[in-house]
Amino acid sequence: MSDAKERDKRNRLLLESLPVIRGLLPRIVVVENVMQFLKEEVEIEGRDLERVVDAFRVALSEYELFAGVVQMADYGIPQMRKRAILVAIHKNEAALPYIKEKRLQPWPIRTHAERFFADKQSWNSIKKWFDFVNYEPLDAISIEMSRSLVDPLHFVPVYKDDYYLRVADIPVNSGKNAYQNSSCHSCGKNDVTNGIVYCPKCGSEMRNRPYVRQDDGTIRLVKGFDSSYRRIIPDRPASTVTTNSSHVGSDYKIHPSQNRVLSIRECADLQTIPALWESA
């Protein structure tokens, strides 16, 4: 294994389930994780294996293994979230011969698709979802406007000065990013070319574009992907909820029409976590 994988103990967490599975011998085992986990190099019983699936196959000879990738938007969830899934079915299970004969996948049939066809509905868009949940509007301009008075999980970070301009100047429901903000706040020029950080008319800083100040006092654009500092596209599912979902510079994380990122409550709902769920 590479040094990076050797240092990251998280890559071996799934292997900790194997002794439990061998001890309990459940009828079915379901494992879900990021897509990359199907390709992770692992070590088991002194052998280096190229894939987690191979490790499970070596350790669980009593089971038939099925592996694949599912898209959560294909099940009506308004979030783009591809996940790897591994299902182990005990070889004594009565339905296993039928599953193998018909070459079935032992997980639910998808109900939605990117475009409507046959018996599949179209993906649920984030705009359709927001219209349904009807959450209290928030704005990242101040503490008072950034949090709900009735839901302690419905709040967002506050952005000040130029950070707020980057968000507020992106046209609502446009799916555009802050690098495309074209208006100069100093002279009013409204068609400043993309890719520059100083207004060609007055020479002022384009404060509404993502920039960093250098040691000599000048500024340059933040180096980032086209999907960063961007509003979520309203007629598509939201981007994948991650630990960076509160960061405006993360991929497609800015609310489609409000000047903020998504709240904890909204992220939890997109993850289908029940509103009444309480941690232990």
Position of tokens 């990076």?
4
pLDDT-based confidence at residue 41 (cuts at 50, 70, 90) = low
Cβ(261)–Cβ(229) below 8 Å: no
Pair 86, 67: CB distance under 8 Å:
yes
112, 143, 163 - which closes a domain: 112
pLDDT at 2: 45
pTM: 0.84
- The answer on 270 and 160 residing in a single domain is yes
The verdict on 131 and 231 lying in the same domain is yes
Residue 45 has pLDDT above 90, yes or no: no
Indicate if 171 and 95 belong to the same structural domain.
Answer: no
Residues 107 and 82 both lie in one domain: yes
> Is 90 exceeded by the pLDDT of residue 6?
no
90, 112, 134: which is the final residue of a domain? 112
Q: What rounded mean pLDDT belongs to the chain?
A: 89
Q: Is residue 211 part of a domain?
A: yes
**First-residue to last-residue Cα distance in the chain:** 36
Confidence (pLDDT) at 57:
83
Residue 196, in any domain of the structure? yes
My answer on whether 178 and 138 are in the same domain is: yes
80 and 169 in a common domain: no
Q: Is residue 142 part of a domain?
A: yes
Q: Which pLDDT score is estimated for 59? A: 87
pLDDT at residue 237 above 50?
A: yes
Between the alpha carbon of residue 254 and those of residues 143, 187, 233, the distances in Å are 18, 27, 9
Q: Of 54, 82, 112, which residue constitutes the final position of a domain?
A: 112
If you average pLDDT over residues 49-74, what whole number do you get?
Answer: 85
List the CATH number of the domain containing 80: 3.40.50.150
User: Which tokens sit at 115?
Assistant: 């475009």
Whether residue 63 sits in one domain with residue 89? yes
Q: Is residue 269 part of a domain?
A: yes
* pLDDT at residue 184 greater than cutoff 60: yes
Q: Is 88 within 8 Å of 21 (Cβ atoms)?
A: yes
Please determine, for residue 1, whether its predicted confidence score (pLDDT) is greater than 50. Answer: no
pLDDT at 79 over 90: yes
| 120 domain residue, yes or no | no
Answer yes or no: do 130 and 243 share one domain: yes
- Written as six digits, the tokens of 71 are 């898209």
Asked if residue 7 has pLDDT above 50, the reply is: no
Positive/negative CA dihedral, 206, 208, 209, 211: positive
82 and 156 inside one domain: no
Q: Above 60 in pLDDT, residue 273?
A: yes
Counting the structural domains of the chain, the total is 2
CATH number of the domain where residue 236 is located = 3.90.120
Q: What is the pLDDT of residues 185-209, one digit of tens each?
A: 999 999 999 999 999 999 999 999 9
Q: Decide if 117 is inside a domain.
A: no
Q: What is the mean pLDDT of residues 26-36?
A: 89
* 186 and 273 co-located in one domain: yes
Task: State whether 75 and 166 are in the same domain.
Answer: no
Let me know if residue 118 belongs to a domain. Answer: no
The boundaries of the domain holding residue 229 are 125-280
Q: Is residue 52 part of a domain?
A: yes
Asked if residue 9 has pLDDT above 70, the reply is no
| Segment 111-167, tens digit of pLDDT | 999 988 888 999 999 999 999 999 999 999 999 999 999 999 999 999 999 999 999
Alpha carbons 52 and 219: distance in angstroms, whole number: 46
156/266 same-domain check: yes
